[in-house]
Amino acid sequence: MIRRKRPFRMGLCALILATASLVLGLINSLEGGSRGYENYDLLYCLGMGLLLFVGLSLVSYSVSRNNTLAKLGRLVFLTYLRSKGK
């Protein structure tokens, strides 16, 4: 049986980390100049978007098992467990 509190915590931490990183980067770039937001790379935006998506899928998996996003969250969490050797 998979413990269901851990995916919620992991997803919530990923969502908080990605959101805080995006907000702090945006605030710092706006303080630096009016067009400072153009310093974001495509790779950075894709990485933060992926982190948001994974966090959302993990939270969705811990809340409900029926939707497609929850199935993706289950896949992410099982991959995490396999990598830890549990």
- pLDDT tens for residues 51-84? 888 888 988 888 887 888 888 888 888 888 888 7
Judge whether residue 10 has pLDDT over 80.
yes
- pLDDT tens for residues 16-49? 888 888 888 777 777 766 565 566 667 777 888 8
Give the whole-angstrom CA distance, residue 58 versus residue 46.
18
Cβ–Cβ < 8 Å for 55, 15? yes
**What's residue 1's pLDDT?**
47
What torsion do the CA atoms of 69, 71, 72, 74 make, to the nearest 10 degrees? 130
Q: Which residue has the tokens 């990598």?
A: 83
Mean pLDDT calculated for residue range 3-27: 81
Judge whether residue 11 has pLDDT over 70.
yes
Cβ–Cβ < 8 Å for 5, 59? no
